Amino acid sequence: MSNYVFLIDQNKTPLNPVHPAQARKLLDSGKAAVFRRYPFTLILKRIIENPNVYPLTLKIDPGSKFTGIVLVTNQGNVIWGMELQHRGQQIKDALEHRRAVRRGRRNRNTRYRKARFLNRKLNHGWLAPSLRHRVLTTETWVKRLQKFAPIGSIVQELVKFDTQVIQNPEISGTEYQQGTLHGYECREYLLEKWNRQCAYCGVKDVPLEIEHIQPKSKGGSDRISNLCLACHKCNQRKGNKDIKDFLKGKPEVLNRILKQAKAPLKDAASVNSTRWVLFNILKSFGLPVRTGTGGQTKFNRIQFDLPKAHWIDAACVGQCSAVDGFPVAGNCRSRSVSEGLTRKGVVETIKLATTKILRVKATGFGGRQRCQTDKFGYPQKHRPLRPILGFCTGDIVRADVLKGKYAGTFTARVCPMSHGYGEFVIDKKRRSIKLDYLTPVHRKDGYDYA
């Protein structure tokens, strides 16, 4: 089932999203028209005076490469979802390439210039461009969804790896770690760090056990740098052997494990660097903002028996509520989660009302270089500064060709030319079609959709 369809009235006031079947009826009867393709939005041809809308909860699972975003009703129905793919690594590579070119230019038979790397002061809360991009793209989509859906609250996964989650404020000391989420934060960290596979044999999709690289019987500690994941067979074979003795005939595997054990988790570091900035931005929207941890997200997903996906993780963000003073998360099996028990408006069940989601990839608006060159640096063609016959490079258009070699209907991105033709890439083949045959579907906005 596809995502629910956003609906706004003639004054662009957001209404309740409608089922795809109801959206088709509105289009067929002429009561509504397509307002936007991505996300798909309909606009009514009349004004709703007193719209009876129910507020939706926007849940966000921020990540380094992907961010999951879903809309959930008060009954726990996930009616709309999307996965946003960031381009932070692409920005980082572009900046490093620019730095290499700049340094090469400064060192080619030029006069000496005094070093200037210590006379710059960064503002408080400064983020690197690749990290700032992750925050800004998420903020952009929250603003867009606010225009098309009646969002009443926001839930964000704030702390990805936090071993100090307090379930009961009255518990003190180290006892708080023995609650219903005991071990989930540490295991989730290790799963991400070791790529969800055995550190010794590399097997995937099997139950993994937490393994001490240096056995505790030989002075090993419980620090996270001394832990890895291993399958049951490798864990039993290693036992309390020293890792150097266990991998005596495999020096490559030994060096990889010792190096990876001390290496920081790059993706987790980027999430931890941007989480509070994103949280403060979400609070500026004037909506109630609640938070959850990565361990709680995984715990909820396992209890509700849901598959692993970024948008499903977003639906599971937040802490399970309590009934009669007992945490529901610890008693999901016995209390029949499917019954959807609620208390004070807090939903204790998650139902996926959609399976086909919107997949968005951040592509940017391209470079400012107008003279396009080949791989050797020679000029190839000139990029126009203004639209050609109303089309810009990157616009999604529909081509209705009635006759000729390319007769048919195509939908793709176009690159307009000054001679009145546009280039398509359809079925991995480049085609040239006259711009008169094109109808705009979605203007270029820096994202690719699927």
| For residue 170, pLDDT beyond 50 | no
Q: Give the confidence band of 348 by pLDDT, cuts at 50, 70, 90.
A: low
Is the pLDDT at 326 greater than 90, yes or no?
Answer: no
DSSP SS3 for 248: coil
Helix, strand or coil for residue 32? Answer: strand
pLDDT tens per residue, range 141-159: 999 999 999 999 999 998 7
- pLDDT for the residue numbered 160: 60
Contacts of 198 (CB under 8 A, 6+ apart): 204, 206, 208, 229, 230, 231, 234
* pLDDT at site 175: 47
User: In whole angstroms, what is the distance from residue 65 CA to residue 214 CA?
Assistant: 32
Give the burial class of 133: count Cβ atoms within 10 A of its Cβ; 0-12 exposed, 13-18 middle, 19 or more buried.
buried
Residue 344's Cβ-count burial label (10 Å; 0-12, 13-18, 19+) is exposed
Q: What average pLDDT score do residues 117-127 get?
A: 79
Non-local (6+) Cβ contacts of 72 within 8 A are: 56, 57, 59, 78, 79, 315, 347, 350
pLDDT on residue 301? 87
Q: Decide if pLDDT at 133 tops 90.
A: yes
The alpha carbon dihedral of 324, 329, 331, 336 has a sign of: positive
Q: Over the stretch 26-76, which tens digit does the pLDDT of each residue have?
A: 999 999 999 999 999 999 999 998 888 999 999 999 988 999 999 999 888
DSSP per residue, 293-343: EHHHHHHHHHHTT----HHHHHHT-S---EETTEEGGGGTTTTTGGG--EE
Q: How far apart are CA 323 and CA 204, in angstroms?
A: 38
Highest mean pLDDT among 79-88, 364-373, 375-384, 397-406: 79-88
- The model's confidence at residue 162, banded by pLDDT at 50, 70 and 90, is very low
Cβ neighbours for 358, distance < 8 A, ≥ 6 positions apart: 3, 38, 39, 81, 82, 83, 449, 450
Assign 360 to helix, strand or coil: strand
- Please state, in angstroms and rounded to a whole number, the distance separating the CA atoms of residues 256 and 238: 17
CB-CB contact of 86 with 67 (8 Å):
yes
Kindly state the average pLDDT of the residues 326-342: 33
| Predicted pLDDT of residue 183 | 57
> Is the separation of the CB atoms in 327 and 348 below 8 Å?
no
Q: Give residue 169's identity as a one-letter amino acid code.
A: P
Q: What is the mean pLDDT of residues 72-98?
A: 91
User: For residues 152 and 381, what is the distance between their CA atoms, to the nearest angstrom?
Assistant: 50
pLDDT reported for residue 180 = 45
- Each residue's pLDDT tens digit, 183-207: 556 787 788 788 889 989 888 888 8
Query: Which domains does the chain show, CATH number per domain?
Result: 6-44 (no CATH), 369-445 (2.30.30)
pTM for this model (two decimals): 0.74
Cα–Cα distance, 234 to 200 (Å, whole number): 7
Most confident among 24-33, 204-213, 392-401 (mean pLDDT)? 24-33
Q: Please state, in angstroms and rounded to a whole number, the distance separating the CA atoms of residues 95 and 28.
A: 50
Tell me the H-state helices in 107-156.
129-148
CB neighbour list of residue 296: distance below 8 Å, 6 or more residues apart: 165, 181, 184, 317, 318, 319, 320, 329
Give start and end residues of each alpha helix (H) in 249-293: 251-262, 266-283
